[in-house]
Structure formats: structure tokens, C-alpha cells
Chain A
Amino acid sequence: MATETNRRITDSMEAGLLWFDDDLRIVDANLAAREVLGLRPGQFGARIDDLGWEQSDEQGVRMPQETRPVWRALHGNGETTQGVVVVQTPHHGQRWLRVRAVPVDSLGAGLGRGAIVSFTDFTHERQAMRQARHSEQLFRMFGDHSLDLIWIVDPRTQKLLYMNSAYERIWGRPAAPLFEDLAHWLDGVDPADRQRVAEAALHANEAGMYQTEYRVHRPDGRLVWIRGRGFPLFDTDGRMRYMAGFAEDITLARATEALQSAHRLAQVRLERIVATAPGAVHSYRQRPDGQGEFTFASPAILDLLGVDAATLVERGIDLLALVHPDERAAVAESLRESAELGSAWLATFRVPHTPAGERCLEAHSMPVRESDGSVVWHGFLIDITERRRAEQEIRSLNIDLENRVAERTSELEAKHREMESFTYSVSHDLKAPLRGIDGYSRLLESDHADMLDEEGRFFVAMIRKATGHMGELIDDLLAYSRVERGRPKLGPVSAGPVVAAVMDGAAGDVAAGGIALQSAVEAGLSVLGERDGLVLALRNLLDNAIKFTGGRPGRAIEIGARRVDGQALFWVRDNGPGFDMRYHDRIFEIFQRLHRAEEFPGTGVGLAIVRKAVERMHGKVWAESAKGDGATFWIQLPAVEQLPNL
């Protein structure tokens, strides 16, 4: 047993002290032991097991008596034993004790052999250690579950202290080389980005944080975009202990961002197009039950339908409700047809209530059938009110113009008829008195000549001559006016038969006059004209030639036709006296004569008839001559391709 001094000493010790006898009963305990274990003096003399205090090892396995340091010290060869014993105390819970047991021959006066056990309680350290281990485990678990790379580097040694498994996942490379040499950090980084990555820490902010984005080529060929962040870790004294950071795979984010920016761009572009497009752009849906609604409309729709785009879409207003009631059925039908055939919807209809009153719209859109059976028309509406108005104006102007033309034409036709009836009257009324003059002068001449003297008979002869001339004039005038009668019926006319007919018609005069008449018509030549008109013109020219060669020796006339530059040229050439070219225009004017009546008979109407007949066929006529050396008259008409052999 301890003396008073010894007790003081032992009670002042930090370690716990227990005295056991060789029967394992507690003989004594110092203050520390009593406090740690909650041992009361009344319990002295009892065994630990008797107290019900369970003892187990570090692994929590119950310790048999033989394994306990005390027992081993009492039953050993006198050596000190030690070990860790976890004691379950009733008041102080589980205590972790590092135990040393020393066998002694005498525990003191009156006491025999025993063992002195000293222990230190490391329950708190043990708990702290466990907690620390737990934290690290949590940290590692957390790190391994992080999608982002987490790393910690000791800046003094440039050693990698920690890195989670994300490296192998993101970089597609083993992590081990990095732990060997941090220089492998740049493996796989795009050469263009390497310097920037290596110097990233130089651009750290005031707090020492830095960030950089770079490309990494994985061994499998994939390119990934990385966003790396680094920052210093300080200890409680404010000294930098570590550098740590994250690296995040932003490939998807970047792609998404690019996509989003492309999308935004497309959206902006679309909005601009929609804003500047003429009319309004819309999506109009018709549900399977036939109910229609707008799902999209550009702002301009307000002007066209009288409802702003937002209201239109929010309230799901049906287009048909806005269409003029008279046209609703037709518009619905056109929509139905477009939906059924999948064809473009083109419709024109009126909308009665818009800010500018009633408007006329034109719809252009394509139907798209959706999975639920509804049909959506994407397209545009344009305002054609002004266009309609202009069209109507043009139409009414045209009608007006046509009416005026018709009016003028009928006026002209009336004038023409008046003219015809005038010439009809002339023919009848002038001829009737002329017949009287002729008849009675003839009777005077035949029946009463013996009652007249020489001069009287001369007068009668003059009256009869003048009468004859006047008859010719009236006949020619009528022939001239008849040329104009009716509208020309233009068609292909063969030149050959026409010339032949004209020559036949003059055969009698030609034979009688001993004229050498020759023809030169290009084979197969056809013109666009009027057969009767062409015959009339050529006959007059031939008659003219016959007349003007009259009384001359070696009378020769040539009549011909040939094609020149898509035009047909007819000509009648004679070797008569010709005419002064100064008057070449005047000879085609009615009643214009270049010769005196004594020289050549005539009324001055023949060539006027020629010109009128040719002009009716949209042709040209002209004459060439050298005075005293014959004349050539030309007719030009459009040639046509050879007629089919009918």
C-alpha cells in the first residue's frame, strides 16, 4: 500500500495507475484511474470482470483473460507487458487505454505478489483520428463522385498530392504518371493552348485564383474542351500550403452554347425577316375537330386582321371568325382542300374590321399534318387591297377605252357607210342625167343631123365626147371607192396564178397593140395579201403600161415578181415615155395626171386605185422612171413561206 507521500505522488500523475493482486482483484487506484474509469473506493477488492466491465481489443473483439496485459504480467516471466484495452465503463462509456503492466513481488506491507498497471486514456485522440479518417474518406468519396477533376499540389515539392478519378475519365489517360512528374499535366493539351495553360497561374487574381479554357486531345481521338480553375489553400497562419483546383469538361456546354448562339442568331434573323417581310407571317392550326387557331403571328398581323399578334395567339382566335361572312364558307373549303391534298393554300378574301377598314388579303401557305391529326399552315398573308383597286381601275380603264374605241369605230363605220351611200348616190344620180345627155345627143346626131350645120354637128360631137369622158370618170371613181369597201381578208396568195390571171385579162389589148408582154415570176413565191386586191393593182399597172406604150414602136412590157429579204416585189416595166421623177409621188394621187389628155387618155384614177389596193394589204407601191426611157412600177408585200400543196 502506498504511503501518504506515495499517494500524493501517484494521484498527481496524468497516467492512471491500478494495483492488482495476483488474484486480479483491484487493490488500489490513483486519482487519474478512478476518474477515467469512474471507479469508486467501494469497488476495491473486486475483479474487473466482477464489475461487469467488458474488455475488448482495438478491433472490438472481446479479450479473453489470458490475452490481457495484467494477466500476462502476472503469469509471465516477470517482464512488463503492454497492449491496448478497450474498457466498457458504466459511467464513462468506452475507454481506449494504452496499458502497461509490471509484475511486482510485493504490493507493499502485508500484501503479496501483484501487478502494477499504468495506462493512458487515448479515447479522445482515437475519436479525433477516427473523425479525421472519416473526413478524408468522405472527401475521397466526394472527389470520386465529382464529375469535375479535383487536384491538390504541394507547391514546394511540385508533387501532386491528390487527384480524383475524373482525370482518367476526362483525359482518357492514366493518372499515375502525373503523380510521378507533374510535367505530364500538359500531356494531351492542344499545342496551341499549352503555353496559355502553363502560364495560367501567372494571371491569377488578387485572391490567387485563375481560370483558363483549353483543348485536350484524348488518345481515342476525341477533342474535349476543359475549363480549369486553380486557387491557393492557406493554413490557419495565412501561409500558402497547397495549390488546388478543378477542371471541368465543357465540351458539351460549349457545343450547347454554340448551338444556342446559332439558335439565337437564327431567331434574330427570323425576327428581322419577319419584321421586314411584306405582309404578316403566321402559323395557323386547325384541330381535328375543325376549330382553328393562330399559334404564331408576326406583329404586322394587326394591320391585316385587326387583332394584335399576342391576343391572336393567346386567345387562340380562329381566322375564319375574322374573314368577311360572305367568304367564310369559301375560305373554309379552300383550307379543307389544301389539308386534304397537302397542297399550298392560296386564297383571297376580305377582312372587314382592320385599323384601315376593310382589307383584301391574299394567303400563301403550306400545310403540315401533325401527329395528333391537326394541320398547321405556315405561311404569310399579304394585303392586296391596293393591288385589287389598281387592277380594278385598269380593268375599268380598259373597258372605258374599249368602249371609246368601239364608239369611234362605230362612228367611223357610220362615216364609211355614209361615204358608201354617197358614192352609191353619185353612181345613180350622176349617171341618170348623163344618160339623158348621151341619149338625146345620140338621137340628135342620128335622127336630126341633117337639120344641123357643120358647126352644130361639131357641137353635138363635143357634147358626146365629154359625156363619154364623164362616164369614164364616174366609173373610175366608183371603182376607186369600191377598193376600200369592207375589211381586207389577208391570207397567203400565190404570185404565179395572180400574174397569169392579170396577163389573161389583158390578152386582147396586148394582141391588138402588138405588145411583147413577158413575165418573170419566181417559182413558188407567195405573199400575204388579198387576191382580188393584188389582181386589181397589177391589172391597173398593166393597163397603165399598155396605155402609155400606145402609139410607140416596139412596145414591150414585163411583169414579174421575186423574193427579196423576206419581201415579195412585183413589178410592171414598160418602154413608154416614162415620167419626170420629180412627180413620182404625185402620180399615185387621185385625178393627178402627168400627161395631157390628148397624149394619153385617162381619168387619173388608175394608179390611185393601185396605191389604195396595195396599202390595204399593208404593202408599198412606188415608181421609177427616166423621162423618155420607160417606167417601172413596184409593189412590195410581205412574202410567206411556200404554201403547202393542198
Chain B
Amino acid sequence: MEDRRPILLVEDNPMDVDLTQRAFAKRHIVNTLEVARDGEEALGWMARWEAGHPLPVVILLDLKLPRVSGLEVLRQLKAHPEYSRIPVVVLTTSREDTDVAAAYALGVNSYIVKPVEFEKFIDVAAQIDLYWCVLNQQAV
């Protein structure tokens, strides 16, 4: 059974948002891609979920965001009693050891470095789809 709940993408670069959507499409991932364009907006989604909006199956989180940083969003999500269970995959260009360590310390579920090549991007999308949208859901 495939989970048709939305995927939340927290990404400030519209080009990356577009490319992610296209990569998902190439992989025939049909989950709705909901987008938060900065950290503040990402945190705003928590209110929507309170109001009954379906929880995302996975959150793809860019670290370098305007206003509220990705790590801060991660911290607040993981501090929430309910939403802390939403898997979060950090998706970023940063290879900084400190960022990786900080993200894992905050309880991130995975950490993927954004590749430059579009083909690899599609591979990443496939991994996300396979793991978070299929395998993980079946395990629940």
C-alpha cells in the first residue's frame, strides 16, 4: 500500500522546488508536494496540522533558510510530542561536519547532500520514495 499523504518540502530556492517536483514526477511519485519557502513558513505548518491538515509522510528540510534556520525548524519539530514522529530528511548542499553533527544531535532521520547532477537528484528522490513512502510505512 502506498501512502498518499503529502511530502513537505522546506526549500527557499524556487528552482530547487521546481526541480524536486520534476524529479519526483520522473520517479512517478504521486504524493502531493507541499512547500514551505522558509523556516518561519515551515513552522507555520504546525498550526495547519493542528487544524486537521494531514501530516506529511516525510519532511525534506533544507538547512540554509532565510529567517528561521533549518536546524531551528528541526529542533522545534523534534521537541513537539506528536510531530517529532514525522520523519525528517535533511536535504542540503552543505557538507559541514558541524551541520551534520548538529542535525543528528537534534534527531534527524537522514541526511542527504543535494547533488548537482539532475540524474543523481532523481536517484535521491527514488531513495526517499522507496524508504520513507514505501518501506517505512509498511513497517508501521
CB distance from B23 to the nearest CB of A (A): 8
Tell me the bound Cα distance from A560 to B3 in angstroms.
55
Tell me the bound Cα distance from A145 to B114 in angstroms.
131
Say whether A428 contacts B121, CB under 8 Å: no
Say whether A467 contacts B119, CB under 8 Å: no
Q: Does A188 reach chain B (CB closer than 8 Å)?
A: no
- Taking CB as reference atom, which chain B residue is nearest A482? B95
Say whether A439 contacts B93, CB under 8 Å: no
Tell me the bound Cα distance from A427 to B63 in angstroms.
13
Say whether A443 contacts B94, CB under 8 Å: no
Say whether A435 contacts B114, CB under 8 Å: yes
Tell me the bound Cα distance from A436 to B118 in angstroms.
9
Kindly list chain A residues whose C-beta atoms are within 8 Å of the C-beta of B118: 435, 438-439, 442-443
Q: Does B22 reach chain A (CB closer than 8 Å)?
A: yes
Say whether B95 contacts A431, CB under 8 Å: no
Say whether A432 contacts B16, CB under 8 Å: yes
Identify which of residues 430-457 in chain A touch chain B, using a CB-to-CB cut-off of 8 Å: 431-436, 438-440, 442-443
Kindly list chain A residues whose C-beta atoms are within 8 Å of the C-beta of B121: 435, 439
Tell me the bound Cα distance from A432 to B22 in angstroms.
16
Find B116's partner among A431, A440, A443 (CB 8 Å cutoff). Answer: A431
Tell me the bound Cα distance from A423 to B93 in angstroms.
12
1/0 contact trace for B91-131 toward A, CB 8 Å? 01111110000000000000000111111010000000000
CB distance from A445 to the nearest CB of B (A): 9
Say whether B64 contacts A428, CB under 8 Å: yes
CB distance from A11 to the nearest CB of B (A): 165
Q: Does A186 reach chain B (CB closer than 8 Å)?
A: no
Say whether A438 contacts B95, CB under 8 Å: no
Say whether A431 contacts B93, CB under 8 Å: yes
Kindly list chain A residues whose C-beta atoms are within 8 Å of the C-beta of B94: 424, 427-428
Find B117's partner among A433, A436, A471, A485 (CB 8 Å cutoff). Answer: A471
Find A438's partner among B13, B96, B97, B117 (CB 8 Å cutoff). Answer: B117
Interface centre among B16, B22, B23, B96 (most CB of A within 10 A): B96
CB distance from B22 to the nearest CB of A (A): 7
CB distance from B41 to the nearest CB of A (A): 18
Q: Does B51 reach chain A (CB closer than 8 Å)?
A: no
Q: Which 7 A-B pairs have the closest CB atoms?
A: A442-B118, A436-B15, A471-B116, A439-B118, A439-B19, A431-B93, A428-B93
Given contacts A442-B117, A468-B117, 14 further A-B contacts (CB under 8 A): A427-B93, A427-B94, A431-B114, A431-B116, A432-B15, A435-B19, A435-B116, A435-B118, A435-B121, A436-B15, A438-B116, A439-B22, A439-B121, A440-B19
